[in-house]
Structure 1
């Protein structure tokens, strides 16, 4: 599966954008991170007047076979289904934040262990009724994994037809922090105990047990490449996010990376095409233990740190106003020349 993603190398445009930023009525660099974000979005959109158009968040839901045992997750697997209904009824945090920030929100059944009614306002993209238990066998076979990646890409392709140029991804799946920890370990070589966190609310004893279980999983499976690792440890929602990220970069969208789970998908996406990271803005630093180490591995800095670890794409939703502010100052703030304000003495 190939994605054609161009690196951001337009140095001439970058120089013009930087000149425009520096000549706003402010000291050079005074808007800090907002200036860097404006520069990146302008470069992605290949214009001196970038705009955030139709920002969208796709939330992918999927179940994990290991969650049926209840040994790595304090909540039962049925909560995935219950939360999907909560999303559809507008009751979750991601619904509230999306409405607050005027974001289009779409919910996708990537692989929930439940047969949803066809008339629901849900994108039906189910690959299977949850993954297999990777304590016993790989979570997916190669065909299922590739099918999920392809479906995620197709969903972003559909969004591109609606002039979406800014997109974020969220997820729901009891047990998916375990999958993310395993993928993080595989890509970064970070010890598994540094990758495992509280997830949906484990105490210290629960985290210790989760680490023990995942250590045993790593002894059982030895994937030969990142795609095989995704199939072995991942969830359908994570695999779809991999494809969605890659297709969004191919369409030169600004990609808002959420927290721990979405960043684990990004780690795999980068292994498929390293240029994808040029299109990514990192929304926040999750309070899930491994996420900060992921960000350090990628050598990136997040926009926000609210000690959140909810998932659902909530961090991405909270970052959208920052992106809007970045492009708005670039487009609407006066320059020294237009305002008749003197520049500093030479």
Structure 2
């Protein structure tokens, strides 16, 4: 999977508008949009409103709330005019995504109070394809967006949803719009943007399943790496994340994070959990850095931040890590981050940091 961006927003909008323009002579205002309480006209206007809102969040670099504006169409705007607005707002979001640096995050309430450009692109695409489906269902049209586009959306902002063999049917099921064999009906749902944890010099960017698949396959995961890419440990961790996602057991906040340097936006390492906390509240962490970034305290800074974040969660009592006896650099990182050595043998030393 490649990085989701403005091109995918444009693709989704173009496909939706092309279909809906074939039915502009019908009664949109008097026809319910699928299972929604809105009419088809209201659903179409909602698509445009969301696209411009997301563009505004990115362009305005909003960090604490939605930018306080709303889209209002001129009186007398016909259905073709509404679709003109959808095309225009889609172009604005695509442009905002394309011109926003990858490390910028803007406010979005769920679930971690922010999203990056990839998240806003994925949310925009989701609004377009789902509400086009709703409108098409109301108007009796046949609509199915590209499978690759749906798989990208699922892998970016539905990391908690086990992928299925048909990405479009899986997305419809995950949003309460259809059934999947062997899975219970969905009555409430939310997408999940990735978590970011900030430090003085770094941003720990949560790796999505889509980015993990690219990293595990030898790609860059949408990040700018020095020296040709991440250290092998990051690729291995990404592969384990992807397997957990495919098995339906991935917990996004207990996954993998990329260390992004604030000064230049470059990714210099990986850090993450080996899974969710166990029944005793213990969670294991691991980390690595590209060779060029070692020796500057970045690993210690990242470990302090992620361990601190974990220990603020009520289900966590302790964070632990293991390292080889001859890995003195890693042992020094753990000691500087406040960890205490609690056990050792000929193969591994174990370190722990307990909550208060």
Fold match by TM threshold 0.5: no
TM-score (normalised: structure 2):
0.28
Q: TM-score, normalised by structure 1?
A: 0.28
The structure with more strand, counted as a fraction of residues: 2
* Greater RCO, 1 or 2 (C-alpha within 8 Å, sep 6+): 1
